[in-house]
Chain A
């Protein structure tokens, strides 16, 4: 009896929590297909009575949503490619190559993790100004091009590569760079996927830095554009939900597709504490 009650309580609570977690997201999708104004009625409708794509049409047709999607994609892809390359290269060097100051530099990097990025934001803005990087994709990407977390993740993974493998290649006369590209990179492929999804999600979801550095409307990323739209269109709930769908759906789908890699990165990152 007691055991059966436990089954009901545990699973009932899980269903409740699951509903609370998913409902806002499902409702966002539902409202995004309602005609303008339909959601501002009582009782509040859960499902659209008539399905319409009008909100999406307004967003992409009149409000330049397509432009923001392209901006977000470009910045996120650029940030991903550059940061994954730099972090993989550095992570391998810190794991497997001997050089003066290796441990000291790595310890300094880990120590720097306690400093929040916002401390660097104001001077970075002033530094990028004379370089012409304010109001450019470059300015948005620059601070994401390498990360201590990424280097740490690759280093952890690369330490598992047997030294004999690298030594054998050296004896065969392979150059260090050749060893890296032909032996190391293929072995590191799983961690590359993990790094890539973190970098992409991080850049896509980022708000404060793009808000500061991209002042020109035509360069806005989706979150920056959405925040602006939500201030101007306070009453247009249906359209704002459509805007949220456009912003959230890509990252949700990416997460679902690469969930295993994402969780591995999360766990590895949490060990650092």
Chain B
């Protein structure tokens, strides 16, 4: 009797959340997979009877679309350069905050974290201005040390690096807090005894800190990689995907395919390809974590 009541109460309490997740997430995901196998476009939007099943055609077509490959290349550039830079910054900042000699830790932790909670669109607007060729403070600072102005957001060679710098600034605080907590979990005595054994700071870092941080680093790496694969708002605001499509990301491509040209079938295929890619990379990283030497 008691268990029956409990079971009813459980369904009543969990019901709303599960219903929301089922209707507004699970069903759309499955529908998305189905959608990616159709030629759903503007005509189908008006009249569903024009909808046709096209199998894997959208996927095959995409793999022959140069713009898709460009978007994929841009996104990989952003991930491959941006993720190590961001995590490197996070780790550096965490080590500084964890150093015994650091002062005003609470203040600095909050200050370095502040960009994380800000609105991407708003801070992208600020950075677009900071990166302005003529009136941007970044170029002015560079000129101060004798570097001629860079056309950050107007030159296809510099547009992605500029967005990467912005993303690193915006995001490094998040992983910093997580890594700092992991560092603080290492007892001071461990370092104490290493010092007694004559290990220098570098040896301590390589032989002790890094191995102890490894699980956290892998987790942080996976979270950051999956986050960075979803690049969208930054180029939308700062460059509109340009110049010369140099900052068009996969998600931006999906957005344009889906909500500008209304090729929803095609756009859905883009979304799933991105998902598969993210999943594969995460899976590889997890494997690497369980089997660090890559052997056996």
* Contacting residue for A266 out of B26, B110, B111, B174, CB 8 A: B174
CB <8 Å contact, B7 and A28: no
Q: Is B108 among interface residues, defined by CB-CB distance under 8 A?
A: yes
Shortest Cβ gap from B282 to chain A (Å): 7
B178 within 8 A of A: yes
Is there an interface contact between B120 and A116, defined as CB atoms closer than 8 Å?
Answer: no
Give the chain A neighbours of B202 by CB distance below 8 A.
none
| A168 contacts B by Cβ under 8 Å | no
Given known A-B contacts A21-B169, A28-B126, A102-B10, A205 and B120 have beta carbons under 8 A apart: yes
**B93 at interface (Cβ–Cβ under 8 A)?**
yes
B271 within 8 A of A: yes
Nearest-neighbor residue (CB-CB) of A226 within chain B: B121
1/0 contact string of B159-186 vs chain A (CB within 8 Å): 0000000000100011001100100000
Contacting pair A116 B274 (CB below 8 A): yes
Question: Is the C-beta of B296 less than 8 angstroms from some C-beta in chain A?
Answer: no
Identify A116's interface contact among B21, B103, B177, B226, CB under 8 A: B226
A237 touches B135 (CB 8 A): yes
Which residue of chain A has the shortest Cβ distance to B267 in the bound complex? A122
Q: Is B18 on the interface with A (CB-CB < 8 A)?
A: yes
Which B residues lie within 8 Å of A18 (CB)? 107-108, 111-112
Q: How many Å from the CB of A209 to the closest CB on chain B?
A: 11
Of the candidates A42, A207, A259, which one forms a contact with B232 in the assembled complex, judged by CB atoms under 8 Å apart?
A207
B240 at the interface (CB under 8 A from A): yes
- B114 adjacent to A25 (CB under 8 Å): yes
Q: When chains A and B are docked, how far (Å) is the Cα of A145 from the Cα of B20?
A: 7
Q: Is the C-beta of B288 less than 8 angstroms from some C-beta in chain A?
A: no
- Decide if B248 is an interface residue (CB 8 Å cutoff): no
Instruction: Give the interface size class of chain B.
Output: 35 or more
B residues less than 8 Å from A86 (CB atoms): 16-17, 20
B96 within 8 A of A: yes
| Cross-interface CB contact of B27 among A127, A176, A208, cutoff 8 Å | A127
Once the chains bind, are A255 and B25 in contact (CB under 8 Å)?
no
CB distance from B85 to the nearest CB of A (A): 14
Q: What is the bound-complex CA distance between A86 and B20, given in angstroms?
A: 9
Q: State whether A90 and B17 are in contact (beta carbons under 8 Å apart), knowing that A20-B169, A43-B140, A114-B279 are contacts in the complex.
A: yes
B21 touches A146 (CB 8 A): yes
Residues in A neighbouring B125, C-beta threshold 8 A: 226, 230, 240-241, 243-244
Q: How far is the CA of A259 from the CA of B109 in the complex (A)?
A: 11
Q: Say yes or no for B236: interface residue by CB 8 A criterion.
A: yes
What residues on B are CB-neighbors of A104 within 8 Å? none
Q: Assess whether B222 is interfacial by the CB under 8 Å rule.
A: yes
Give the residues in chain B near A223, CB-CB below 8 Å: 119-122, 233
Instruction: Give the docked Cα–Cα distance between A177 and B5 (Å).
Output: 10
Asked if A170 is an interface residue, CB under 8 A from chain B, the answer is yes
Known contacts: A90-B14, A99-B7, A248-B122. The answer to whether A121 contacts B135 by CB under 8 A is no
- When distances are taken between beta carbons in the complex, the residues of chain A under 8 Å from B86 are none
Q: Which B118-151 residues sit within 8 Å CB-CB of chain A?
A: 118-123, 125-130, 132, 134-137, 140
Q: Which residue of B18, B97, B122 contacts A243 across the interface (Cβ within 8 Å)?
A: B122
User: Is A227 a contact of B110 with CB atoms below 8 Å?
Assistant: no
Instruction: Give the secondary structure class of B's interface.
Output: helix
Cβ of A244 and Cβ of B137 under 8 Å apart?
A: no
Tell me whether A248 and B135 are in contact in the complex, defined as CB-CB below 8 angstroms, given that A14-B97, A270-B219 are known contacts.
no
The verdict on A170 contacting B2 (CB below 8 Å), with A97-B10, A208-B255 known, is yes
Residue of A nearest to B95 (CB): A10
In the assembled complex, B205 has its CB within 8 A of some CB on chain A = no
A273 within 8 A of B: yes
Do A21 and B112 touch across chains, with their CB atoms under 8 A apart? Answer: yes
Structural contact, B135 and A42, CB atoms closer than 8 A: yes
Interface centre among B27, B35, B223, B233 (most CB of A within 10 A): B233
Q: Quick one: closest A residue to B176, CB to CB?
A: A17
* B21 contact set on A, CB distance < 8 A: 109, 112, 146, 148
Q: Is the CB of A3 within 8 A of B101?
A: yes
Question: From residue B272, how far is it (CB to closest CB) to chain A in Å?
Answer: 6
Query: Which residues of the other chain, A, contact B10 by a CB distance below 8 angstroms?
Result: 93, 97-99, 102
Interface residues of B (CB under 8 A from A): 2-3, 5-14, 16-18, 20-21, 24-29, 31-32, 35, 92-93, 96-97, 99, 101-104, 107-108, 110-112, 114-115, 117-123, 125-130, 132, 134-137, 140, 169, 173-174, 177-178, 181, 219-220, 222-223, 226, 229-230, 232-233, 236-237, 240, 251, 254-255, 258-259, 264, 267-268, 271-272, 274-275, 278-279, 282
Interface residues, chain A, with chain B CB atoms under 8 Å away = 3, 6-7, 10-11, 13-14, 17-18, 20-22, 24-25, 27-28, 31, 39-44, 85-87, 89-90, 92-94, 97-100, 102, 105, 109, 112, 114-127, 142-143, 145-146, 148, 151, 170, 175-177, 180, 201, 204-205, 207-208, 212, 222-224, 226-227, 230-231, 237, 240-241, 243-244, 247-248, 251-252, 255-256, 259, 262-263, 266-267, 270, 273
Give 14 A-B contacts (CB < 8 Å), ordered by A residue. A6-B101, A14-B104, A28-B126, A87-B17, A92-B13, A97-B6, A114-B278, A126-B35, A207-B236, A222-B119, A251-B119, A252-B118, A273-B219, A273-B223
